[in-house]
Chain A
């Protein structure tokens, strides 16, 4: 495969740090595992405070934390963008619509600089870990040494595929070579995802170690260590979350360009781009809770203590924060859709329904973040007679929250249906009946979800409580699919006016910015708790953290660190976009 970077097209300077890091990884993999080969494996070392080098005025944990967080943010972004770039390119090929191809290329262009930053921050993370936590790294390397070769291999493959894919975009635009180009894009995604899976094995091993005995002696079966309790759920969760995250960042980029658009065409282009990106983001957000549920269930299966630390103990409030942010995401997404009614010719007719949707979404939102353990003043505690409120108490439990989430999903979907109707006027003969059917489906779904939540949640045994969420989700998914099919049937032959892209109030663009900022912050927070539930362990229950900073930080401290990280990260991203935008002007200016 010819590597175009050899010839030195503009911008290939970016690839050199990436290559250097790749070679570094190879070198590291050659250095570390050698000591354990052939010999029996040693137990996890017992470290003392003396085993951690200290640097005056620098907190090793904070350094590793921020480096890891930066790396994960960039990595999430650059792993996600190629996924939907390839999908968009494919849609463009199938639909023969050049608009998809163009926007796909722009997505990729936006993210290209982030690739080298991912590698650089990864190198910084690796360096910080080796310098500050040598004992831990030596132990992990004694087990995972061989995987570093896969890592390096995937890394080189990804780099090669990326630059071929990006620089070959214009050259491989026609006929056969377009298909080859798509195949390269697929290879890029496979190697990128493989890369993440390898790294996930190291991280999940630290949380739910397997393949080692109680003292940390490695059995020699590497696959067992890789395929630990959390590996698969974490792979899935990160894969989906990355897509949502990538979509949100591109959405924010489009929003920003929309706000600064100099003409109508540019406005329309970035409006469409922002809409597409946010649709990807929200679409990927919807299955995320279920992946998260699997992850949590595996944590509980591995250790009840870890599970309760996560959900019921010190970090219970963290999930209230999470609920608040996800609720804010839903509100923002709904607001963006509502504002989008104005793009369609028939949109005004639907604005009167918005307040009812908003009522349900907001009410579900409030239920969702109602804490089980309330903050009470002593006089309130006396009046209520205990920790649990007679009216609010039931809202704090999982069944209520499951019900609320399903309602939120369902009514967000309703917003979407109305949004679609804003530019379609079905003329099929059976419209009235189709409409009635849809309304019936919705009513039945709402009734079913409430019944399941209330009956199974509060009037039966605990075993069914968790189980009742499955039929609830099934109901929601069924209604979504059924309504989409009905929409499609109704839409056939109907009158359809094109959306007037660009006809959006500027306020709506801030919703997209909010989604990106909230995603970034939330990722940092959830990454913190994922790591923090190990408490004072490097490798949970196997290898203790004996450094001075082994204590678990409070949520408040973590929030400050995450906020700092978010600001730095977003500042870098803005800088990259600014660099990327320089000289390029707008692709859209030419073609709208």
Chain B
């Protein structure tokens, strides 16, 4: 039966998408599953209706169910079950009110200029003033990184963690969780000027889409000097083996 095959294939993919949540405890978000399943069903439908014979065979059981006079009993049962099913699904989705989705852009667009330390910084052309040392004077650069490490372990460690993985002592009390710097999807995607902005302004300086009222990141402008900020930026890139994003080379 082609119709059963159609249903079976779709169920198979649905099970595949559900598996990480059931087996590994890392569920694929329901919003993603919905989108995935929509296109999976469409694709399977397309593949099964390439030829006229295939299309007819696929829809034949449905057509006969709806049109065949001899199957009026099955038809009537279906027409009773469908609304009951719809009602049940609405009931269960409403019975357990789910908290609203979290919509937060982790890396919102930066402003054109940032005001800090009594100066205005144009983020566009802003480079780490210590970065050239890497080429010009590796020994001094190493020293800067070490000092940046000191800044990190005095200030940032508690949330962002000893391994820079976003799992500091306090991290588990926070929502959203502190950003990890390891991996390739946080600082590796950003320019150093972006980090400078995030560090000196902290949570309160985030644009609206970044959820400024839920981030616990302090504005470090009052605690760290400008040079310390640049040093700690050197350190977190160096420690995690990431390179700042650059559009030049």
Do A and B make up one complex? yes
Binding site for B on A (CB under 8 A): 297, 300-301, 303-305, 308-309, 312-314, 316, 324, 327, 331, 335, 338-339, 341-342, 351, 354-355, 358, 361-362, 365-366, 369-381, 383-394, 396-397, 457-458, 461-463, 465, 505, 507, 541
Residues on B with beta carbons closer than 8 Å to the beta carbon of A371: 32
CB distance A331 to B43 under 8 Å? yes
Say yes or no: A505-B55 contact (C-beta < 8 A), given A341-B50, A358-B47: yes
Residue of B nearest to A316 (CB): B105
CB distance A313 to B29 under 8 Å? no
Say yes or no: A373-B25 contact (C-beta < 8 A), given A458-B184, A461-B242: no
CB distance B27 to A383 under 8 Å? yes
A372 and B246 alpha carbons, distance in the complex (Å): 20
Residues on A with beta carbons closer than 8 Å to the beta carbon of B29: 374-377, 380, 389, 392
CB distance A374 to B191 under 8 Å? no
CB distance B49 to A463 under 8 Å? no
CB distance A297 to B39 under 8 Å? no
Contact of B50 among A305, A324, A338 (CB under 8 A): A338
Contact of B123 among A304, A391, A465 (CB under 8 A): A304
CB distance B110 to A308 under 8 Å? yes
CB distance A386 to B176 under 8 Å? yes
Say yes or no: A335-B50 contact (C-beta < 8 A), given A387-B104, A507-B55: yes
Say yes or no: A358-B43 contact (C-beta < 8 A), given A375-B103, A385-B177, A393-B185: yes
Contact of B39 among A362, A381, A458 (CB under 8 A): A362
Residue of B nearest to A533 (CB): B109
Residues on B with beta carbons closer than 8 Å to the beta carbon of A362: 39-40, 43
Residues on B with beta carbons closer than 8 Å to the beta carbon of A507: 49, 55
In this complex, which of B175, B177, B194 has the most chain A Cβ atoms within 10 angstroms of its Cβ? B177
A297 and B248 alpha carbons, distance in the complex (Å): 10
Interface digits, B175-205 against A, CB 8 Å rule (1 contact, 0 not)? 1110010001100110101100000000000
Further 10 A-B residue pairs, CB within 8 A, beyond A301-B247, A381-B102: A304-B191, A331-B39, A335-B46, A373-B105, A383-B21, A383-B27, A385-B177, A387-B177, A392-B29, A461-B243
Interface digits, B16-37 against A, CB 8 Å rule (1 contact, 0 not)? 0000110001111111100110
CB distance B27 to A305 under 8 Å? no
A-B contact pairs, 19 of them (CB 8 A): A303-B124, A304-B123, A305-B112, A312-B108, A313-B105, A341-B50, A342-B51, A351-B50, A351-B51, A372-B185, A373-B105, A375-B31, A376-B29, A377-B29, A387-B104, A390-B26, A392-B29, A462-B245, A507-B49
Residue of B nearest to A386 (CB): B177
A457 and B184 alpha carbons, distance in the complex (Å): 9
Residue of A nearest to B188 (CB): A462
Label chain A's interface by main secondary structure. helix
CB distance A304 to B110 under 8 Å? yes
CB distance A384 to B55 under 8 Å? no
Number of cross-chain contacts by CB at 8 Å:
160
CB distance B50 to A354 under 8 Å? yes
Task: Answer yes or no: B131 CB below 8 A from chain A CBs.
Answer: no
Task: Answer yes or no: B138 CB below 8 A from chain A CBs.
Answer: no
- Looking at the assembled complex, report how far the CB atom of B62 sits from the nearest CB atom of chain A, in whole angstroms: 16
CB distance B109 to A308 under 8 Å? yes
Task: Answer yes or no: B136 CB below 8 A from chain A CBs.
Answer: no
- Looking at the assembled complex, report how far the CB atom of B16 sits from the nearest CB atom of chain A, in whole angstroms: 11
- Looking at the assembled complex, report how far the CB atom of A581 sits from the nearest CB atom of chain B, in whole angstroms: 28
Say yes or no: A305-B36 contact (C-beta < 8 A), given A355-B47, A461-B243: no
- Looking at the assembled complex, report how far the CB atom of B43 sits from the nearest CB atom of chain A, in whole angstroms: 4
Contact of A304 among B28, B42, B193 (CB under 8 A): B193
CB distance B46 to A331 under 8 Å? yes
- Looking at the assembled complex, report how far the CB atom of A384 sits from the nearest CB atom of chain B, in whole angstroms: 6
Task: Answer yes or no: B101 CB below 8 A from chain A CBs.
Answer: yes
- Looking at the assembled complex, report how far the CB atom of A457 sits from the nearest CB atom of chain B, in whole angstroms: 8
Interface residues of B in 137-182 (CB under 8 A from A): 166, 175-177, 180
Residues on A with beta carbons closer than 8 Å to the beta carbon of B102: 375-378, 381
CB distance B110 to A388 under 8 Å? no
Task: Answer yes or no: B107 CB below 8 A from chain A CBs.
Answer: yes
In this complex, which of A342, A378, A387 has the most chain B Cβ atoms within 10 angstroms of its Cβ? A387
Interface digits, B229-249 against A, CB 8 Å rule (1 contact, 0 not)? 000000000000011111101
- Looking at the assembled complex, report how far the CB atom of B6 sits from the nearest CB atom of chain A, in whole angstroms: 12
- Looking at the assembled complex, report how far the CB atom of A294 sits from the nearest CB atom of chain B, in whole angstroms: 13
Residue of B nearest to A365 (CB): B39
CB distance A309 to B47 under 8 Å? no
In this complex, which of B55, B104, B105, B242 has the most chain A Cβ atoms within 10 angstroms of its Cβ? B105
A390 and B29 alpha carbons, distance in the complex (Å): 12
Residues on B with beta carbons closer than 8 Å to the beta carbon of A374: 29, 31-32
Interface digits, B52-63 against A, CB 8 Å rule (1 contact, 0 not)? 100100000000
CB distance A384 to B27 under 8 Å? yes
Residues on B with beta carbons closer than 8 Å to the beta carbon of A370: 32
Residues on A with beta carbons closer than 8 Å to the beta carbon of B243: 461-463
Give the top 8 A-B pairs by smallest Cβ distance, nearest first. A313-B109, A461-B243, A308-B109, A375-B31, A309-B109, A362-B43, A358-B47, A338-B50
